[in-house]
Amino acid sequence: MTVGIHAYGGYVPKTRLQRGAIAAANAWFNPALKGLGKGERAIANWDEDSVTMAVEAARDCLNGQAGDLTGVYMASTSLPFQDRQNAGIVSEALSLGTSLQTMDVAGSQRAGTSALATALQVAAGGGRILVTASEKRRTKAASPLELTTGDAGAAFVVGDGDGIAKLLGQATESTDFVDHYRGQDEPYDYMWEERWIRDEGYLKIIPAATAKALEAAGIEADQVNYFCFPAAMARVGGMLAKKIGMPAESVRDNLQGTVGEAGAAHPLVMLAHCLEDAKPGEIIVVVGFGQGCDALVFRTTDAIADAKPEHGISGYMARKRTDDNYSRFLAINDLVTMEHSLRSEVDKQTGLTTLYRNREMVQGLIGGECTECGTLQFPKSNVCVNPNCNATGTQKDHPFSAKVGKLNSYTADRLTYSMDPPAYYGMIQFDEGGRGMLDFTDVEPGRELQVGEPMRMMFRVKDYDTKRGFRRYFWKATPVNAMEGE
Please give the Cα distance from 9 to 58 (Å, whole number).
7
d(CA 11, CA 60): 8
Q: Is the separation of the CB atoms in 439 and 462 below 8 Å? A: yes
pLDDT-based confidence at residue 486 (cuts at 50, 70, 90)? very low
Q: Which strands make up the sheet holding 366-370, listed edge to edge?
A: 376-377, 366-370, 395-399
Backbone φ and ψ of 457, nearest 5°: -85, 140
Q: Which residues contact 19 (CB under 8 A, 6 or more apart)?
A: 36, 37, 38, 39, 40, 41, 147
CA atoms within 13 A on the CB side of 23: 17
pLDDT number for residue 18: 98
CA distance 71 to 87: 10
Which of 374, 380, 375, 438 lies closest to 406, judged by CA? 438
| 464 and 420 Cβ atoms separated by less than 8 Å | no
Q: Other CB atoms closer than 10 Å to residue 406's CB: what's the count?
A: 16
Interval 424-448 mean pLDDT:
92
Residue 68 pLDDT > 50, yes or no?
Answer: yes
Helix axes 203-217 and 236-244, enclosed angle (nearest 10): 50
CB neighbours of residue 393 within 10 Å: 9
Whole-angstrom distance, CA of residue 137 vs CA of residue 48: 12
Question: Of the ranges 107-116, 249-258, 319-328, 341-350, which one carries the lowest mean pLDDT score?
Answer: 341-350
- Average pLDDT over every residue of 314-320: 95
Pick from 356, 401, 353: nearest CA to 96: 401
The class that CATH gives domain 403-483 is: mainly beta
Amino acid at 298: F
Q: Where in the chain are all domains bearing CATH 2.40.50?
A: 403-483
pLDDT digits (tens, 9 = 90+) for 192-227: 999 999 999 999 999 999 999 999 999 999 999 999
**Fold of domain 3-332:** Peroxisomal Thiolase; Chain A, domain 1 (3.40.47)
Residue 482: predicted pLDDT? 61
127-141, 222-236, 342-356, 359-373: which has the minimum mean pLDDT?
342-356
For every residue of 340-354, DSSP letters joined together read --GGG-------HHH
Structure confidence by residue, pLDDT tens digits, 137-194: 999 999 999 999 999 999 999 999 999 999 999 999 999 999 999 999 899 999 999 9
Range with lowest mean pLDDT among 58-72, 148-162, 291-305, 319-333: 58-72
> Which letter does DSSP use for residue 444 in this model?
P
* SS3 (DSSP) at 452: coil
Q: Give per-residue pLDDT as tens, 73-84.
A: 999 999 999 999
Query: CA–CA distance from 373 to each of 107, 413, 440 (Å)?
Result: 51, 38, 31
* 141: CB partners within 8 A, 6+ apart: 26, 330, 335, 336
Determine the Cα–Cα distance for residues 182 and 174; give it in Å rounded to an integer.
Answer: 19
pLDDT tens-digit map of 248-285: 999 999 999 999 999 999 999 999 999 999 999 999 99
* Separation CA 27–CA 450 (nearest Å): 42
Residue of 129, 145, 125 lying closest to 137 (CA atoms): 145
What's the full length of the chain, in residues? Answer: 486
Taking CA atoms, 241 is separated from 193, 249, 251, 468, in Å, by 22, 9, 7, 48
Residue 416 has pLDDT above 90, yes or no: no
478, amino acid identity: T
Q: Pairing relation of β-strands 283-289 and 226-228?
A: parallel
Contacts 24+ apart (CB under 8 A), 36-39: 36/144, 36/147, 36/148, 37/147, 38/257, 39/256, 39/257, 39/258
pTM above 0.85, yes or no: yes
pLDDT at 436: 92
Burial class, 32, CB count within 10 angstroms (exposed 0-12 / middle 13-18 / buried 19+): exposed
Mean local confidence (pLDDT), 413-433: 91
In the chain, residues under CATH classification 3.40.47.10 are 3-332
**Mean pLDDT, residues 79-96 taken together:** 97
Q: Computed over its alpha carbons, how large is the radius of gyration of the chain? A: 23
In the DSSP assignment, the letter for residue 83 is S
Q: How far apart are CA 267 and CA 5, in angstroms?
A: 15
Instruction: List all residues 6 or more positions away from 266 whose beta carbon is below 8 Å from its beta carbon.
Output: 112, 135, 152, 230, 254, 255
pLDDT for 64 beyond 90: no
Backbone phi and psi for residue 50, each to the nearest 5 degrees, phi listed first = -65, -30
Q: What percent of the chain has pLDDT over 70?
A: 99
The mean of the pLDDT values for the chain is 94
pLDDT of residue 7: 97
Q: How far apart are CA 245 and CA 222, in angstroms?
A: 6
